[in-house]
Structure 1
Amino acid sequence: MASGTRALAVVAGLFTAVQLLLVVPGSGIGWDEAVYASQVSPYVPAAFFSAPRARGITLLAAPAAALGQDPVNLRVWFALLSGGALFGSFRVWLTILRPAVVVVAAGLFASLWITLLYGSQAMPNLWVAYGAVVAVACFLLPPSRRAHAGLAAALALVALMRPSDALWLALPLAVAALAARAPVRLVPLAAGVGLGALPWVVEAYLRYGGLAARLHRAGEIQGGFGGQFAFGAQLRALSGRTLCRPCSDVAWGRPELALWWFALPVAVAAGISVARGRRRPLVLATAAAVSVSVPYLFLIGYAAPRFLLPAYALLALPAAQALVHAARTWRRPAVAVLVVALAGHLAVQYAVLHRAADRYRDLRTAYARTAAELHRRGVHPPCTVSGHEAVRVAYALGCSSRQVGGHDGSIDAAGLRAMACGRPVVLLTAGGAPPPAFARAWRPHGLSPLPGTRTLHALLPPACTDEGGRGHQGHQGHQGHQGATLPTLPSRP
């Protein structure tokens, strides 16, 4: 046991170190991260919080967000936190499976570019994965107050991060409890899901008019639930795309980057078949992994690799069982082939991680440049940004973000014009898109383009008139712009 704990600590330490060395330096902030961090930041007004989102990750982000707007604060904090959570979550399995299997499983999961990229991000999916690993382990432990408390706490964490994921995770565990004629296990399952989802449900009644209304709105934002097939989209996303929406126009140009995805179910099946006396834990882990994958493979029409992190964490256990068994029973030539295959797998993961991390560094440079250009034109806090990529530009400036219409619609045109009389307001348009009707008289100013755009313009409102008819500027210097160009659909948090 002690040797397994030490080896697991080494894996967790390496996981953290790789993040700090390869991912954290110079990294910019993602759109969803900016939304989550702004909810608890004393430096940036809270961005619009859409119906599908849950506030669990904002609680984890709060200590780092309190230090300032620099994304590196979040990156370092979450790199350290995710390394500790990797150790803690897989450590529970040391009493269920052989230490070598648990350590290899943690290593497999930690080596994925997806895990390494999101380990240092303020995003909920990795924390759902850690909660799922702990929940299944606690369910398998001999019944006790400690095991039941751990099961409830793990499911509460998952529900706090993503309530729907907690329901899908609890489903196979509930079936297993009933099959084993142990209905007492249903109590911590229900308690954990209910406690973790309670803030989301309460907010549904306070802000959305009820639970049914919030669920309906969440479905609209996600493009509807049910009858969709996202396998192809997930495959395309494995090349390093953090969001594939839509994926129909994305060519699958690097199929070798997805070979591990096809090898994974083979390794899982092999691990279960050779487990013998430890087959039940691996079967349950696999069933839970399949269950939490269902909504992301069959109920939505787009993909992001992070959606499947909970499944990968659970499937790493039977896959590790297969690898450990092969290392112990195969002859040296076969083991050598396996080692070469694993080395190739790690090389692929590193290559994709390197490209993805570089994109985040490019984002930091681009948004800092845009913020500096707007600041020179008089856009400074308190201010409001609207239009193309308003959330991230606003976060970099310390402004609020508001949209006229769309999924994040939080203000109308009249309200935006009125706001411009008292603060800098800026409306961003990209790609030569014409300004909306209400902003056709606003002054355009060219900006350096952001990644993915050919051109970027800031529309600044003219002098406004107060009730007494006296013309005045909403702020000194050039006025900011916000508002009308609708953003792309928000990524699923």
Structure 2
Amino acid sequence: MAPPPLTAPSPTDAPPGSAAGAGRRRALVLLTPVAAAYAVAQLLLVVPGTGLGWDETVYVSQVARDAPAAFFSAPRARGITLLVAPVTLVTPSVTALRIYLALLSAAALLLSLWVWRRLFPAPVLALAGALLAGLWPTLFYGPQAMPNLWVAFGALLAVGCFLRAARDPGDRLALAGVVAGIALAALMRPSDAVWLVLPLACVVPAVRGGRRPALIAALGAGALLGGAEWVIEAELRYGGLLTRLHRAGEIQGGLGWHPAFGHHLRALAGRTLCRPCDVPWSQPVTALWWFALPLLTAGGLVTAYRAGRLRLVLVPTAAALSLAAPYLLLVGYAAPRFLLPAYALLALPVALCLTRVFTRARTRPLALGVLCLALAAHLALQLAVTATLGARGRANRTAFTAVVAELHRQGVRPPCVVSGEEAVRVAFRAGCASRQVYGGHDGSITADGLAVLARTRPTAVLVPAGAPPPPWARGWRPLPLPDFPGVGGRLAYLAPSARPEGAWASLRRGPTR
């Protein structure tokens, strides 16, 4: 049986209002349930009761109503901050923010795959969406204020629209989609946008000459629109673009030859950050799909080649490899979210390969049953990891709530300052400013400056249980804190300006007789 065609009819291939309109409707009908299921899974597994993570807190604090902004280090971009601003400027509710992002990410999944409807059959797109949405990093980070998934949506949008514009010079919406996709990626993570633009720029010479200038202009305009803010901020706050790039490299551990395949395999067990990644590989079953990914991608390329449509699959595959390369080869640690843009693009050749396999297996019930069982087991495992991470997020929120309540009882109330380990999350929840002493990647004050500030503002420095205070906090009052999940106990040293509840009333009444 011949494989399904790789392209749906375009407006120039079919009479107006016939095949093209039917293709659009079918793509929408098949993709909408996938996006809806993605939203529901987030709302059930991740949204309820989870607090903000460390990076999320930095991004959200920039536009929060009730807490000072945390230090914004050189590698970060403000795209995700702009994305969450409509909610954070209205309400401090983390649950409201989670629901907003869950629904928005589901809509983005639908849109970024729908633009491919003229290039791939609707069933392939629906399967690609289900494969992408079913990965635990996609599920976990959908309702989170983190940029990587939005780079993935931008990459899907940009590459799909790029291929459409290359095929049809009259598709002006496709050119606008290229600009929008590249701009979204650059606004979220400028470095990722560079790795996305490079393979697309290399493809331009293979496009018919009349379309090349428009494609080059679209790639450049998207990069300029999305990256302008980061470049301007580099000049205004970081001493220039080169200085910011150098500092960003330092914070990320320095870019060099650091193959990290093993780190990423270990991280798939549910580690949101594996740095350093010297832990044992205790759950290899969570990485089985990673070994199948290159084989299924190759199968998709072969299927496309046999159908005479290799370019439609080769371009997203090349873009995916380009986006993955720096994180697999140049960064010496791992976080599964780093590879989300690559997974999004590779979902297309993988879905094409699996569609071909399903077509052949229809007449072989045993083979079809094995394939369905393997996919069901894969999805169940991804959901289990997501549920575990959601439970961990709820435990973290409970722990931080207890810590903040104790600090408030001991007099650390706004306007206040928190420094030391986990200062960003504790300070945000307490309504305090987080200030770290120079020397770390987010240092924002000198030790002497912090000591002076502590004279007038209630100040706490957090250290591991049993550790001494820093030299500038010697003589401060020690306070044992509730345990932090996964890291054990912490000790806070409180400046004399932090007085427990009742102390101010005693001072106003004077000494008792």
Asked if 1:179 is matched to 2:209, the reply is no
* 1:190 positional shift: 1.0
Amino acid at match of 1:197: G
1:44-443 equivalences in 2 (<5 Å): 44-141=67-164, 142-143=168-169, 144-182=171-209, 183-184=212-213, 185-248=215-278, 250-275=279-304, 276-330=307-361, 331-405=364-438, 406-443=440-477
Instruction: Trace 1:5-20 onto structure 2 (pairs within 5 A).
Output: 5-20=28-43
1:292 aligned counterpart, secondary structure? helix
User: How far 1:332 moved relative to its partner?
Assistant: 2.4
Which digits, 9 at most, give the CA deviation of each residue in 1:173-227, with x for residues without a partner? 0011023354311111111111110000000000111000000000100010121
1:429 is paired with a residue whose SS is strand
> d(CA) in 2 for partners of 1:69 and 1:450?
23
Measured in 1, the distance between the counterparts of 2:230 and 2:30 equals 38
| Cα deviation digits, residues 51-108 of structure 1 (max 9, x gap) | 0000000011112212433321221110011011111110001111011000100010
Deviation of the 1:424 alpha carbon:
1.3
Bigger drift between 51-60 and 178-187 goes to 178-187
Structure 1, gaps ≥5 residues long: 464-472, 480-493
Check whether the contact 2:435–2:445 (CA below 8 A) recurs between aligned residues: yes
Structure 1 distance, partners of 2:87, 2:404, is 21
Root-mean-square deviation (CA, aligned residues, Å) is: 1.5
Verify the 8 A CA contact 2:481 2:490 in the aligned structure 1.
yes
CA contact (8 A) 2:30 2:126 kept: yes
- After TM superposition, give the deviation of residue 310 of structure 1 in Å: 0.3
Q: Is the 1:404–1:410 contact (alpha carbons within 8 Å) kept by the matching residues of 2?
A: yes
Structure 1 residues 474 and 199: alpha-carbon distance in aligned structure 2, compared to 1, 3 A threshold: farther
Whichever residue aligns with residue 257 of structure 1, its letter is: T
Other-structure match for 1:467: none
Moved over 4 A (4+): 473-479
Q: Deviations over 1:304-347 (max 9, x none)?
A: 00000000000000000011111112222211111111011111
- What amino acid maps onto 2:69 in structure 1? A
CA contact (8 A) 2:260 2:334 kept: yes
Would you say 1:462 and 2:493 are equivalent positions?
no
* Structure 2 Cα separation of the partners of residues 263 and 252 of structure 1: 18
Tell me the distance in 2 between the aligned counterparts of 1:180 and 1:262.
34
In the alignment, is the contact (CA less than 8 A) between 1:152 and 1:189 conserved in 2?
A: yes
- C-alpha distance in structure 1 between counterparts of 2:162 and 2:488, whole Å: 53
Q: Distance in 1 between matches of 2:408 and 2:496?
A: 17
- Which residue identity is paired with 1:397? A
Q: Secondary structure at the match of 1:94?
A: coil
| 1:448 has 2:459 as partner | no
Q: Secondary structure at the match of 1:116?
A: helix
| Counterpart residue identity of residue 448, structure 1 | P
Which residue in the other structure is 1:24 paired with? Answer: 47
Query: Structure 2 counterpart of 1:121, which letter?
Result: Q
Q: Distance in 1 between matches of 2:330 and 2:204?
A: 26
- The one-letter amino acid paired with 2:285 is E
Distance 2:266 2:148 in 1: 19
1:269 aligned partner, one-letter code: A
1:378–1:477 contact (8 Å) kept in structure 2: no
Alignment check: 8 A CA contact 2:436 2:443 kept: yes
After TM superposition, the score normalised by the length of structure 1 is 0.93
Alignment deviations for residues 406-425 of structure 1 (CA, whole Å, 9 cap, x no partner): 11110112211221232211
| SS of residue paired to 1:45 | coil
CA deviation after TM superposition for structure 1 residue 272, in Å = 1.5
Cα distance in 1 for residues equivalent to 2:130 and 2:199: 25
Give distance in 2, aligned partners of 1:84 and 1:305.
Answer: 22
* Residues in 1 aligned to 2:180 and 2:418: alpha-carbon distance in whole angstroms: 39
Quick check: which has more Rg, 1 or 2? 2
| Pairwise CA distance, 1:475 | 9.2
Letter in 1 for 2:260: A
Q: Distance between the aligned counterparts of 1:220 and 1:113, measured in 2? A: 29
5+ long unaligned stretches in structure 2: 1-22, 505-513
Query: Structure 1 counterpart of 2:309, which letter?
Result: R
Q: Is the 8 A contact 2:412 2:499 kept in 1?
A: no
Comparing 156-165 and 172-181, the one that deviates more? 172-181
Q: Is the contact between residue 410 and residue 499 of structure 2 (CA under 8 Å) also seen in structure 1?
A: no
CA distance in 1, matches of 2:381, 2:68: 40
Match of 2:15 in 1: none
TM value normalised by structure 2: 0.89
Match of 1:484 in 2: none
